[in-house]
Chain A
Amino acid sequence: MEVLVRIKRFNPEKDEAPYWAEYKVQAQPSDRVLDLLNHIKWNIDGTLSYRRSCAHGICGSDAVVINGVNRLACRELVKNVGSRIEIEPIRGLPVIKDLIVDMEPFFAGYKAIHPFLIADDPPADGKERRQSPAERARFDDTTKCILCAACTTSCPIFWTNDVYVGPAAIVNAHRFIFDSRDRGASIRLDVLNSQAGVWR
């Protein structure tokens, strides 16, 4: 099938403002949007810039806005998006080039919740901190965040408010607060309880 791919491109060294570039591409319905980007970069216009690494929904590099919805380009199939595909950089973060954004403001919210195990007390048996499967299951869901920023950059408050921690930070705070080995809950809860936190 023929797919019309419109990509919001921007090269700060050349362009005054972002513009839409159009590419006509032959694709299989089972192709992923990332395959289209690769095809364009490798065969049509090598200057197109975007992030991708694992290409299998693990690394969290290729979150983009596809037809208005935040998605991972490596997980979105052409047959689910249609024959006209608009791709933009995720919103609320400064665009570095084309689909590449500066992720630092996103990671600032993540760092604020102290995303590391805080356990300064010695382990009960002096060797290791044991955890039962049930205790591990409690925060299993939130261990799966790949920090793609799709959630946080879809939030209008994050677009305008420069200190709001954003949903990804809340997810990652949960990951440690509900970890039976962690002793840093009050530090994390203070952040979530502040004006930049969850009460919005």
Chain B
Amino acid sequence: MATPNPGTGIRYAGRPRPTQSNFELYSWLFMRVSGVVLWILVLGHLLIMHVLNSVRDIDYAFVENRWANPLWRIWDWTMLILALIHGLNGVRLMSDDYLRKRKHRVIATILIYVAAFAFILIGSITILMFRSPTGM
């Protein structure tokens, strides 16, 4: 819809001028979708690792064997990425909601981005680069 420009008189009452970005919309959507997907991934993971198999049987060889199948690597990696971003985005929203000072919010947001980057990197290297020493 064409919007006539109501002139330079537009004021945002001392508030930040809205950006044209849809970031918060996609963030909102992502939280809903990833939440549903995580339900399946995490419950499946729990079922396999803690119900169908006893924790006592789970050792290096078990994981090595499982990760020989790309499906489980993709499963684990997707779960890791979604859980990290879902969780840290939740923390970002909470810090926006409940930290009173703008300075604190900026610091929290930077820490959250750094943590997300670091954990995604370490986790991805672990899951995707894993090479079985026994060649399985």
In the complex, what residue of chain B is closest to A118 when comparing beta carbons? B6
Asked whether B10 lies within 8 Å of A199 as measured between CB atoms, the reply is no
Known interface pairs A157-B97, A194-B24. Does A118 touch B13 (Cβ–Cβ under 8 Å)? no
A193 CA to B18 CA, complexed, in Å: 8
Known interface pairs A160-B100, A199-B25, A200-B97. Does A194 touch B16 (Cβ–Cβ under 8 Å)? yes
Residues of B within 8 A of A183 (CB): 1-4
Residues of B within 8 A of A162 (CB): 100, 102
Asked whether A195 lies within 8 Å of B97 as measured between CB atoms, the reply is no
Contact-residue size bin, chain A (C-beta under 8 Å from the other chain)? 20 to 34
Main secondary structure of the interface of A (DSSP, over half): loop
Asked whether B10 lies within 8 Å of A114 as measured between CB atoms, the reply is yes
Asked whether B13 lies within 8 Å of A196 as measured between CB atoms, the reply is no
Contact-residue size bin, chain B (C-beta under 8 Å from the other chain)? 20 to 34
A128, CB-defined interface residue at 8 Å = no
Residues of B within 8 A of A186 (CB): 1, 3
Known interface pairs A111-B11, A112-B12. Does A199 touch B4 (Cβ–Cβ under 8 Å)? no
A85, CB-defined interface residue at 8 Å = no
Asked whether B3 lies within 8 Å of A185 as measured between CB atoms, the reply is yes
Q: List 28 A-B contacts (CB under 8 A).
A: A108-B15, A111-B11, A111-B13, A112-B13, A112-B15, A118-B6, A120-B4, A120-B6, A157-B97, A157-B98, A161-B98, A161-B100, A163-B16, A164-B97, A183-B1, A183-B4, A184-B6, A186-B3, A187-B6, A190-B20, A191-B12, A193-B18, A193-B22, A193-B25, A194-B16, A194-B18, A195-B96, A196-B18
